[in-house]
Copies of this chain bind each other. A is one copy, B any other.
Amino acid sequence: MGYLDRIAECNAHDLDGFLPFGIGEAQPGWVRPRFARRLADYPEAFAVDERAVRTATALASFQDRTETVAAVLRGLSENGELGRWRDEAYPVGSSLFGPHLMSMDRSAIPFFGVRAYGVHVNGYVRQGERLLMWIGRRADDRPTWPGMLDNFVAGGQPAGIGLMENVIKEAAEEAGVPKELAAAARAVGAVSYCQETEEGLKPDTMYCYDLELPTSFVPENRDGEIAEFHLWPVERVMETVAETREFKFNCNLVCIDFFVRHGLIDPESNDYLDIVHGLRRGNSGNARAAPVL
């Protein structure tokens, strides 16, 4: 059963290779010991010992933490020690909608193992009894996941804008979806996972949307992220997810959730419950970022 392989790949991690990242009493993330040692060079921002990294006690407010840490991280980014600075403020705390402890540039989020959030839209078409899905292929010049298959529309969720607002914005940029059509997307649940990467830990929660598109609609990318769109029979999408790693890793989970909700996966085996529960591994995405192992 390839679906369980895709789920396992998204959840491969070992917390023994990480130190807790704390802010006051809360633990919003995890850092690699090597990165922790680097952060120890900046005592104005971080208190580091063998067991944990914490923001400096003197940083008592959201604003203090955000500004002092940003100054350090921007320097590391310019020095090539983080990814490219994204200028997108991601929330750090126990939940997407707050209260938040600080915000942090998107580029640093995986280094601190902080839960990130995103919106993913399944764009589908009904032709009589047939169900088809619009699938994107990422441009070859993308810094992340070049050439891989992607959900119809997907984007990270920055602090301070609504989920639907983000869906509408991303749908316009990535697929040229008119606002009134994008606004018909239905929130149908969420999937979550936790993956270890070279950078650090990536606990992630993706809000899933279904958007039924008219047969006359043809997506058109506007931001350069997607090189081409394919309208595939759902059976081909199912086979691609099960048998290949052609999709960007986490998009597989959004597709599998779509297959479950649309009655396309046979429940008559033990795998079914492993799939249904495997799509929402770890904790709720609220509470602390650490997944329940």
Question: A residues bordering B, Cβ < 8 Å?
Answer: 95-98, 162-164, 186-190, 192, 205, 207, 210, 260-263, 265-270, 272-274, 276-278, 280, 283-286, 292
Contact = CB atoms under 8 A, between A and B. Distances in A.
Contacts of A284: 273-274, 276-278
Contact of A266 (B187, B286, B292): B187
Given A269-B97, A274-B286, A187 B280 contact: no
A286 B272 CA distance: 10
Given A273-B95, A277-B280, A261 B190 contact: no
Given A97-B268, A189-B276, 18 more contacts: A95-B273, A96-B273, A163-B267, A187-B266, A189-B260, A189-B261, A190-B267, A210-B263, A261-B261, A270-B286, A273-B284, A273-B285, A274-B284, A276-B284, A277-B280, A277-B283, A277-B285, A292-B292
B210 A267 contact: no
22 contacts: A95-B270, A95-B273, A96-B273, A97-B269, A97-B270, A98-B270, A162-B268, A164-B268, A186-B262, A186-B263, A187-B266, A188-B261, A188-B262, A189-B276, A190-B273, A190-B276, A192-B277, A274-B284, A276-B280, A277-B280, A277-B285, A278-B284
Would you call the interface of chain A mostly helix, strand, loop, or mixed?
A: mixed
For this chain, the copies found in one complex come to 2
Contacts of A276: 189-190, 280, 284
A43 to B, nearest CB: 34
Indicate the member of A96, A163, A190, A273 with the most B CB atoms within 10 Å. Answer: A273
A291 to B, nearest CB: 11
Nearest to A266: B187
A165 B192 CA distance: 32
A163 B260 CA distance: 15
